[in-house]
Amino acid sequence: MTRLVLATGNSGKLKEFRDLFGELEVVLSPQSEFFDEQAEETGKTFIENALIKARFASSLTGLPALADDSGLEVAALGGAPGVWSARYAGPSATDADNIAKLLSELGRATDRRAAFYCAIVGVRHPDDPTPLIGTGRWVGEIAESAAGAGGFGYDPVFLVPGTERSAAQLSRDEKRSRSHRGAAMRSLLPELPGWVSGALG
């Protein structure tokens, strides 16, 4: 069975990735099982940051690595918070801090269009010249207040079209079938079994 490291310490992301892997014979371990350091996310795009994190995790563990970089783009804020989504309210911001800043910045704006974006990158080793890359997008709107206890990040204020619910009010199955991360992983599925086999060496 192949062991992969997932370049995150976020338990919510780990659960989603494990769900998305389905029947693939892999053991997916979070990087927090191996080290505490964080990659310096200096990229200007989600793909660049995901690649930085994947190479960093692989270099410190000697294992094939998967990383994602995802965030929220809000039309009325010119695409912000974008790649700064996790640090929108500061380097040590909590999800609640980021949501509070987002709602404050957006105010009573009538244009509340938004989209989650996700890039997933896999590397077989730190210097892998042909990384595996998948992307996904989830379009919705920003609510005026938070609702729901599920999910993580901006899920409580992301209204899902056609449901009158936030992403934090969806079941895990519903979220997996609709989300940006689910779409990014599904875009990789045709290549993933071969990539996993190749990751064995």
The residue from 69, 127, 128, 173 that is catalytic is: 69
Asked if residue 176 lies in contact with residue 19, where contact means CB atoms within 8 angstroms, the answer is: yes
Q: What contacts 86, CB < 8 A, 6 or more positions away?
A: 71, 93, 98, 153
Q: How many CB atoms are located within 10 Å of the residue 19 CB?
A: 15
Whole-angstrom distance, CA of residue 48 vs CA of residue 55: 11
> Is-catalytic flag, 19?
no
Whole-angstrom distance, CA of residue 47 vs CA of residue 183: 15
Asked if residue 135 lies in contact with residue 181, where contact means CB atoms within 8 angstroms, the answer is: no
Amino acid at the residue 132: L
CA torsion sign for 35, 2, 13, 81 is positive
Q: Which residues are catalytic?
A: 69
